Chains A and B, each alone.
Chain A
Amino acid sequence: SQTIHQWPATLVQPVGSPLSLECTVEGTSNPNLYWYRQAAGRGLQLLFYSVGIGQISSEVPQNLSASRPQDRQFILSSKKLLLSDSGFYLCAWSWRNTGELFFGEGSRLTVL
């Protein structure tokens, strides 16, 4: 069976500090990978998706970036966090071009 792991689960960071969230998928090969952000009381906003190693598509221009160094690893980064980066970040995967999305447990980021 397939599993998705996301970490850290919770982090509190000062404004201007860097960020690294990691996500790995087990039990499948060549998945599509996604990063979403969910602000309080709002829907899920698609940030990045990837269809393969080194292939990243950005949905929302901002100070975040994503990388896919290995087939089943997806990393969300920032060099300098803003207050507006606070939120609940969710990693997800899907089989190629067939939906459905399967989500990790999420990472709650608070920027102070």
Chain B
Amino acid sequence: EDQVTQSPEALRLQEGESSSLNCSYTVSGLRGLFWYRQDPGKGPEFLFTLYSAGEEKEKERLKATLTKKESFLHITAPKPEDSATYLCAVSRTGNQFYFGTGTSLTVIP
């Protein structure tokens, strides 16, 4: 059975304090791993797609990496506006996407 596990469930950082979020997965024939940002009461916003181990993607203060068993979302020098829930999802078939429960990030000024 395909599984996606995210850790930690919640993370509080001081502004400027870098850290990483983890997404571990068990899926055969991974087609893609996706990162999303979700603000309260809103739909998730797409951030990155990673397709193969060793791949990296960057966007502003965010950097996503992928290994054969997990992905990390690195946040460098976060700002309060980075506060959100970050979701990880995997796809095996290309038609079905399975999400983790997310990491709630709070960045304190």
Contacts and interface: CB of A to CB of B under 8 A. Distances in A.
Contact of B43 (A42, A51, A104): A104
Contact of B95 (A32, A90, A108): A32
B102 A99 contact: no
A105 B96 contact: no
B24 to A, nearest CB: 14
A103 B37 CA distance: 11
Nearest to B31: A99
Nearest to A97: B94
A99 B99 contact: no
Interface residues of B, number: 24
B95 A105 contact: no
A28 B10 CA distance: 37
B100 A43 contact: yes
Nearest to B88: A43
Interface string B40-51: 011111100100
Contact of A105 (B34, B42, B97): B42
Interface in A73-112: 90, 92, 94, 96-106, 108
Contacts of A46: 96-98
B97 A103 contact: no
Given A42-B101, A43-B99, A44-B99, A99 B94 contact: yes
Contacts of B4: 43
Contacts of A41: 101
A59 to B, nearest CB: 8
Contacts of B91: 99
A51 B63 CA distance: 32
A101 B41 contact: no
Contacts of B49: 99-100
Interface of A: 6, 32, 34, 36, 41-44, 46, 49, 51, 57, 59, 90, 92, 94, 96-106, 108
